[in-house]
Copies of this chain bind each other. A is one copy, B any other.
C-alpha cells in the first residue's frame, strides 16, 4: 500500500514516506523528512520544520507513529517506532527518543534532548533543552524540566531523570538536577538538588521524605505503590511485561534512534 496523502496536504516530493503512511488535510511535510511504515499524521501539522539549527540532519520518525493534529516537528530529530502524540505538540531540533514515546497534548520538547524508551508524558509538559530522560519515565500534566541555573544566562544545564522515574502533576525540576532511578516526585514539588534512587521527593523546595518504595497504594495499604511496574503494565510490550514479572528491570533496547544510524 502506498502513501495516502490528503489532496490538501503539501508534501515535498523529497520526503521519504514509508508504506501505508497517511497524511491529513492541510498538513505540511517538508523535504528533510523520513516517516516509517504505517504511520499516520493528522491534519494541520507541520512536519520537518526547517531550521539551520538542525545542522542538515533530517527528521526521522519510526514506523507506526500517530501524530495528532496541529503538531509541529522540526528537522533534525529522530524517534523510534511507535511514537504517539496528542494534539498541538511541538518538538524542536536534535532530539532523540526511543521506542513508543508518548507525548501528551500541548507537549513542548525544546530540542537537544535524549529521551529513552517507553517514556510517557501527559498534557502540557515542557522538556527544556539538553534534558536526559531514561526508559519508562512518566511525566504528569504541567511538569517542567528547566535548564538555566542563572536565569537568564548562556548556561544550559539539562535535567537528568533516570529509568522509571515518575514526576507528578506540576512538579518542576530545576537546572542540572539528577533524579535517581525509580524515584517519585510529588505534585507541585520544586526540586533543586539531586536525589538518590528510590526517593520520594516532595515540597517546595523539595526534600527526600522517604523511599518511594515505602509508599502504599491509596485504598490498599498492603500493596506497595512503587516500583509501579509490579502493579501497572498497560500498553508495554509483552516481552517487557514478562521480564518485569521475572524481576528484570534493565533492558538493552539499543541507543534511542540508533536503529536509523
Q: Which residues of A contact B (CB under 8 A)?
A: 8, 10, 25-26, 28, 42-44, 46, 49, 69-70, 72, 86-88, 90, 105-106, 108, 110, 120, 123-124, 126, 128, 138, 140-142, 144, 146, 148-154, 166, 168-170, 172, 174, 187-188, 190, 204, 217-219, 225, 228, 231-232, 234
**Copies of this chain held together in the complex:** 3
Taking a contact as CB atoms closer than 8 A, the residue among B43, B120, B187 that contacts A152 in the complex is B120
Q: Are B151 and A168 in contact (CB under 8 A)?
A: yes
Q: List 5 A-B contacts (CB under 8 A).
A: A10-B25, A126-B142, A144-B170, A169-B172, A172-B187
What is the predominant secondary structure among interface residues of chain A facing chain B? loop
Contact partners of A187 in chain B: CB under 8 A: 146, 172, 174, 190
A186 to chain B, nearest CB (A): 9
Q: Are A150 and B90 in contact (CB under 8 A)?
A: no
A145 to chain B, nearest CB (A): 10
Cα separation A87 to B142 with both chains bound (whole Å): 18
A22 to chain B, nearest CB (A): 13
Contact partners of A150 in chain B: CB under 8 A: 217-218, 225, 228, 231
